[in-house]
Structure 1
Amino acid sequence: MSPKEHPVQSPADIVVIGGGFSGLATAGLLARSGHRVTLLEKQDELGGRAGRLHRDGFNFDTGPSWYLMPEVIEHWFELMGTSTDQKLELADLAVGYRTWFEGHPKPLDMPTGDGAAAAFESIQPGAGEALEAYLAKAKTSYELSLENFLYDDFASPKPFMNPTTLSLLPQLAPLLTGSLDSFVAKRFTDPRLRQILGYPAVFLGSSPKRTPALYHLMSHLDLTQGVKYPMGGFMALVDAMVALCRETGVEIITGATVDAIETLGTGKEARVSGVRWLDAQHKTQRRQAGIVVGAADLHHVETTLLPPALRASSEAAWKRRDPGPSAVLLCLGIRGKLPELSHHNLFFTRDWDDNFSRIHRGEELAKETSIYVCMPSATDPSVAPAEHENLFVLVPSPALPQWGKGGADGTGSKAVEAVADAALAQIARWSGVTDLAERVVVRQSYGPGDFVENVNAWQGGALGLAHTLAQSAFFRPANKNAKVTGLYYAGSSVRPGIGIPMCLISAEIIAKAVNGIKDPGPFDLDAVSMGPNGNEPAGRS
């Protein structure tokens, strides 16, 4: 494909703050397009909200565990000159997830395709055909979003003025103004089926009643496209991205605690000049830069690294925002096998409204609460010793840093360990593994305080700003600071949103903006025009 006409870019000195998925993806794309890039990460390991724990032969992922939107991840690898086939070993899960419902002893397995329709039909006559229609609509919404919205920074109203977008407004308006909960309820009567189709809101940091109906597109991802798993765990994905960034020339500095984004000029003349940080020896370091990308927690970047006059959002604006839920995490090494569980497992309480209300209002969780359990050892023997299982338990919880941090073998804060104990007991009751607690050989918990300490998460949020109507699409914080020339934002709290694929798309949005590309759709490396004094963008023929 021949590149369109774009402004010729000079190579820039760029600093990316944060070594999570969005930071690594951004650094890699900017280096591939000819710029000189330094990435600063405060932790000793890269990955951000993704993490790893090695204990007694167990290898735990302590962050993301759902591999969805594979075409988005594949596109990033292609932009980096390779493919996921070359860099990852991806396994397709025959059963996307096993779902447990309070009051129903028998779980429901959710495969993809015809299997999903059959599973729905087994619960409610006629629901199989209704699901097929639902998923067809979800696919359409997903494709429309990819083509028209996800890769746009909404920096101007121009994208909404083109004939294609205007023609879609009658179709999109109800999806943006109505809730996912009501959208599902119009099509299915059994509460269990409603929960299956509403649960993606949880992974968007919200609840079905507070999430726009547009996000019914999420069901297309797991029930149509299917669920994959990178062998070796999600840190295998991080490791592959880190290696590609380094091969492309990104300078990566860990143990670097950034304490200021430095600027020149005032008012409308303010522009980025560099970054100041403390290195691993607590010595002050500086790096000049014409462009800075804040890929760390947005609230931290804005309120800690910038003076008030240069913040894109006011203190009042932050008070109106929803940080989304936090979580209590529990990594468990279990003696013996657990055939009762699948790779992904969802435990749903009967009273979802109460469950979500407690989280949103910052209240104590009920005795029975909704829980997600990942058992990667069902697919990947490398993550646990022989005849053992690896469990990662996530309990959606209020964003309350005062709950404290977790610890090894029950040594975390009282509040965190109480939630962990209750979750372990509930999983045992619902799954019928009555001796589960006695079979624990490794235990490590994490709480809201850990999210604050490790990734500077605002109010201990586990995911990023909730995908409520007021915080979705063009209402979500922008990818560029309008007050400081050269300052951009990537990650789960800006456009397009939460999740590994969304973070990678935010990186493409930044790459387009830095390289002066205003074309809609994904980043195209062939569209980059670098000046004669710069490096030719990698991958150009």
Structure 2
Amino acid sequence: MNKTIFIIGSGFSSLAASCYLAKAGYNVTIFEKNSTIGGRARQLKKDGFVFDIGPTWYWMPDVFERFFSDFNKKPSDYYSLEKLNPAYSVYFGKDDFITIEDTLDKIKIAFENEEKGSSKKLNQFIDKAKSNYDIAIKDLVYNPGVSPLELVTSATIKKLNQFFSTIKKDVRKEFKNERLVKILEFPVLFLGAKPSDTPSFYSFMNYADFGLGTFHPKKGMYQVILAIETLAKELGVIIKTNKPVDKIIVENDKAVGIVSNGETYKSDIIVSGADYHHTETLLDKPYKQYSEAYWNKKTFAPSSLLFYVGFDKKLINVNHHTLFFDVDFDIHAEAIYDTPKWPENPLFYASFPSKTDDSAAPKGKEAGIFLIPLAPGLEDTPELRETYFNKIIERFENLTSQNVKKHVIFKESFCINDFIKDYNSYKGNAYGMANTLTQTAFLRPKLKSKKVKNLFFTGQLTVPGPGVPPSLISGKLVADLVIKHHSI
């Protein structure tokens, strides 16, 4: 009889793992605590508006293609993609913004308009970033983080210095214009750390941005979740919602089942795509690999204060993705990473999916998602949320020269307390553990438990790290490891 695998959680990494494991012949069941699947990539529907609660950026389309091709499928079998043009715009002051278009040639023109000679430097910078991308995304990130030797290849040896320099140093060595610097430093924020703490090698994110571009799945990112759910079910995966896991049962140092809603379920193998720290709280103390002190010392990616807003009119002077960098990034970063506190003047990001996608809002109306990065673990109250909504909306109105506050039909918010309640997220982090030098590859929490046989982990706190494409890869890595240790 084929072995039974239980997967905790139904985010990108869990769903991906379920597909690979079912394809390999295991009997796979997913246990999801919430009423809908998707983990952080769930959806909010209200009054004819549709919002992606979590990820809104579709980058690295090749990773999605590689995932689906492993099952002889294509993304287009499940959803349609549109390349955004412009990809995004960045505000630096009132009516003062730079637009990033959909090809490198167009982006070079924007850079040259800003700083003479910068387009040539950008070409060289992106060439190096592409070389890193080819090494990282086509090779390195598909390693399971078991040994330091995974990082040692003929290609990485040539780039060794890039692991000991930083994005901030590299960018500022070549570009003097502060606005261009901010645009080039922006993509690594997806990795959850400051540019000054992110190794130069991660410039491959700049190639993802300028070289590959930004896409939008028709009807939103949730369509990708639904696509992988469809694939999983085609492969025989069973998905149970409203099934929080209360305990992982261990007998003779081996995971043998779970307790959910007071009921015991027996299985041969357990994979957790839930928050890593939370998963270890489901184990009796002797079976935890990592202490509270361990987690407390780690650099976590930010949490976020998010607003999902329905407007009763179409907005002007914004694109599908719009960044607001009109305040000092370093001061905001300090409030996230160095002395955690609510930032006085936060940078923020806004997404208006209805600029591209008619399904996101009723005709003549606009759906807006606003995000402020925050330090995890901060106090989160309704009063603070309201204060910060007013702060960013006043700035938004001023920067984009329009009145929007009186056109708000409704707003819903999501912040630290919600990340904890809905996802059991450590300190309410939104993106997992940052990819700093000391938290890269084999230095991240392990995919396989060192103390409990048949217990595995996947997701953004383990390898390869934060983000949707890495989560898909993490699902493949853990499945490969399970198959290696437990052949049917």
Question: What's the TM-score bracket when you normalise by the shorter of the two chains?
Answer: over 0.9
Alignment of 1:53-452 (within 5 A): 53-102=44-93, 105-111=95-101, 112-160=103-151, 165-166=153-154, 168-171=156-159, 173-265=160-252, 270-278=253-261, 284-302=262-280, 304-360=281-337, 361-366=339-344, 368-404=345-381, 413-433=382-402, 435-452=403-420
Alpha-carbon distance in structure 2 between the residues aligned to 1:460 and 1:160: 31
Unaligned runs of 5+ in 1: 1-9, 279-283, 405-412, 518-528, 532-541
What does residue 467 of structure 1 align with? 435
Alpha-carbon distance in structure 2 between the residues aligned to 1:157 and 1:334: 51
Q: After superposition, what is the alpha-carbon deviation per residue over 1:21-49, rounded to whole angstroms, capped at 9, x for unaligned?
A: 11111111111111000100000011111
Q: After superposition, what is the alpha-carbon deviation per residue over 1:193-213, rounded to whole angstroms, capped at 9, x for unaligned?
A: 111011122222222112222
Cα distance change on mapping 1:356 and 1:530 into 2, 3 Å: closer
Question: How far does residue 401 in structure 1 lie from its aligned partner after superposition?
Answer: 4.8
What does residue 426 of structure 2 align with? 458
Residues 329 and 420, structure 1, Cα contact 8 Å, conserved in 2: no
Q: After superposition, what is the alpha-carbon deviation per residue over 1:325-380, rounded to whole angstroms, capped at 9, x for unaligned?
A: 111101111122123100111111342111100122221212x3211111111110
Residues 185 and 195, structure 2, Cα contact 8 Å, conserved in 1: yes
Cα distance change on mapping 1:309 and 1:89 into 2, 3 Å: same
Question: How far does residue 511 in structure 1 lie from its aligned partner after superposition?
Answer: 1.6
Please state whether the residue corresponding to 1:67 is helix, strand or coil.
Answer: coil
**Could you state the TM-score of these two structures normalised by the residue count of structure 2?**
0.96
Please state whether the residue corresponding to 1:232 is helix, strand or coil.
Answer: coil
Question: How far does residue 530 in structure 1 lie from its aligned partner after superposition?
Answer: 6.7
Code of the aligned partner of 1:429: N
Alpha-carbon distance in structure 1 between the residues aligned to 2:130 and 2:155: 18
Alpha-carbon distance in structure 1 between the residues aligned to 2:387 and 2:432: 25
Please state whether the residue corresponding to 2:412 is helix, strand or coil.
Answer: strand
Residues 277 and 426, structure 2, Cα contact 8 Å, conserved in 1: yes
What does residue 526 of structure 1 align with? none
Question: How far does residue 108 in structure 1 lie from its aligned partner after superposition?
Answer: 0.8
Residues 342 and 378, structure 2, Cα contact 8 Å, conserved in 1: no
Alpha-carbon distance in structure 2 between the residues aligned to 1:420 and 1:145: 38
Alpha-carbon distance in structure 2 between the residues aligned to 1:98 and 1:63: 20
Alpha-carbon distance in structure 1 between the residues aligned to 2:292 and 2:327: 38
Alpha-carbon distance in structure 1 between the residues aligned to 2:415 and 2:147: 39
Code of the aligned partner of 1:495: V
Cα distance change on mapping 1:207 and 1:113 into 2, 3 Å: same
Question: How far does residue 442 in structure 1 lie from its aligned partner after superposition?
Answer: 2.0
Please state whether the residue corresponding to 1:29 is helix, strand or coil.
Answer: helix
Residues 171 and 184, structure 2, Cα contact 8 Å, conserved in 1: yes
Alpha-carbon distance in structure 2 between the residues aligned to 1:167 and 1:205: 25
What does residue 539 of structure 1 align with? none
Please state whether the residue corresponding to 1:101 is helix, strand or coil.
Answer: strand
Cα distance change on mapping 1:206 and 1:530 into 2, 3 Å: closer
Q: After superposition, what is the alpha-carbon deviation per residue over 1:220-244, rounded to whole angstroms, capped at 9, x for unaligned?
A: 1121111110000111111111122
- Comparing 12-21 and 200-209, the one that deviates more: 200-209
Alpha-carbon distance in structure 2 between the residues aligned to 1:424 and 1:21: 32
Alpha-carbon distance in structure 1 between the residues aligned to 2:298 and 2:156: 28
Alpha-carbon distance in structure 2 between the residues aligned to 1:340 and 1:381: 18
Q: After superposition, what is the alpha-carbon deviation per residue over 1:164-208, rounded to whole angstroms, capped at 9, x for unaligned?
A: x1553241x222222211111111001111110111222222221
Question: How far does residue 158 in structure 1 lie from its aligned partner after superposition?
Answer: 4.5
Code of the aligned partner of 1:389: E
Residues 447 and 478, structure 2, Cα contact 8 Å, conserved in 1: yes
Alpha-carbon distance in structure 2 between the residues aligned to 1:135 and 1:469: 21
Please state whether the residue corresponding to 1:186 is helix, strand or coil.
Answer: helix
Residues 323 and 459, structure 1, Cα contact 8 Å, conserved in 2: no
Please state whether the residue corresponding to 1:218 is helix, strand or coil.
Answer: helix
* Backbone CA RMSD of aligned residues: 1.7
Question: How far does residue 147 in structure 1 lie from its aligned partner after superposition?
Answer: 3.7
Alpha-carbon distance in structure 2 between the residues aligned to 1:207 and 1:417: 27
Residues 97 and 346, structure 1, Cα contact 8 Å, conserved in 2: yes
Question: How far does residue 263 in structure 1 lie from its aligned partner after superposition?
Answer: 1.3
Residues 322 and 466, structure 1, Cα contact 8 Å, conserved in 2: yes
- Comparing 325-334 and 342-351, the one that deviates more: 342-351
Residues 147 and 442, structure 2, Cα contact 8 Å, conserved in 1: no
Please state whether the residue corresponding to 1:318 is helix, strand or coil.
Answer: helix
Question: How far does residue 219 in structure 1 lie from its aligned partner after superposition?
Answer: 0.9
Alpha-carbon distance in structure 2 between the residues aligned to 1:343 and 1:174: 37
1:49 corresponds to 2:40: yes
Q: After superposition, what is the alpha-carbon deviation per residue over 1:373-412, rounded to whole angstroms, capped at 9, x for unaligned?
A: 11111110111011111111111112135214xxxxxxxx
Alpha-carbon distance in structure 1 between the residues aligned to 2:156 and 2:198: 20
Question: How far does residue 320 in structure 1 lie from its aligned partner after superposition?
Answer: 0.9
Residues 120 and 193, structure 1, Cα contact 8 Å, conserved in 2: yes
Residues 5 and 269, structure 2, Cα contact 8 Å, conserved in 1: yes
Matched residue count = 486
Please state whether the residue corresponding to 1:463 is helix, strand or coil.
Answer: coil
Please state whether the residue corresponding to 1:481 is helix, strand or coil.
Answer: coil
Alpha-carbon distance in structure 2 between the residues aligned to 1:314 and 1:364: 27
Alpha-carbon distance in structure 2 between the residues aligned to 1:383 and 1:23: 27
Please state whether the residue corresponding to 1:306 is helix, strand or coil.
Answer: coil
